Copies of this chain bind each other. A is one copy, B any other.
Amino acid sequence: MPLARLMAMAFRSLIDDLHDRLRARGITDVRPAYGFVLLYLRDHDATAREIAELMGTSKQAASKLIGAMEGAKLVRRAPHPTDGRAHRLALTRRGARLLTTVETIYRELEDEWAEVIGAPAVASMRADLLAVLRARNDGELPPVRPGF
């Protein structure tokens, strides 16, 4: 069985578990892509161009995604401090709360994975994936884009 299929199924499993648990908490208007953007905004000021790079999509698709998240009141567009063309994205209060929930659920899921395969194995998997992805992408991480 190729690693690609394993990665696809692992991704599927994690995303489905995440969204099942969000729904169990009454959060039903969140697309899978939102989680990646929220986590990115935790650590970065970002523009639409950077979200396009993160997700591996066109600027237009990123703009639409941001628009949808704005509509769900998870982010807001602020003027960029130094570039009149660009927006700076910021988390709203609702967005920050959702980010916290997503992080909590991801920790639960990884704890459950650790129960099956052991915490050292989870840590190794993470470190190995980071190493091989950076090695194959000039030291950077590739985009998120998991689809066909």
Closest-by-CB residue of B relative to A112 is B136
One digit per residue, 1 when the CB lies within 8 angstroms of any chain B CB and 0 when it does not, for chain A 38-61 equals 010000000000000000100000
B15–A129 touching, CB < 8 Å: no
User: Is A10's CB under 8 angstroms from B12's CB?
Assistant: no
**Is there a chain B Cβ closer than 8 Å to A133's Cβ?**
yes
> Contact check: which of B7, B17, B117, B136 meets A7 at CB < 8 Å?
B7
Chain A interface category by residue count: 35 or more
A91-148 residues with Cβ-Cβ distance < 8 A to B are 106, 109-110, 112-113, 116-117, 121-122, 124-126, 128-133, 135-137, 141-148
A8 part of interface (Cβ distance < 8 Å): yes
Across-interface contacts of A33 in B (CB, < 8 A)? 148
Would you give the shortest CB distance from A113 to chain B, in whole angstroms? 5
Contact with B along A1-37 (1 / 0, CB 8 A): 1111111111111111110000000000001110110
Tell me if A3 and B148 are in contact (CB < 8 A). no
Contact call A146/B147, Cβ cutoff below 8 A: yes
- A118 nearest CB across to chain B (Å): 8
Query: Which residues of B lie under 8 Å from residue A146 when comparing CB positions?
Result: 7-8, 11-12, 146-148
Chain A interface (Cβ < 8 Å from any Cβ of B): 1-18, 31-33, 35-36, 39, 56, 106, 109-110, 112-113, 116-117, 121-122, 124-126, 128-133, 135-137, 141-148
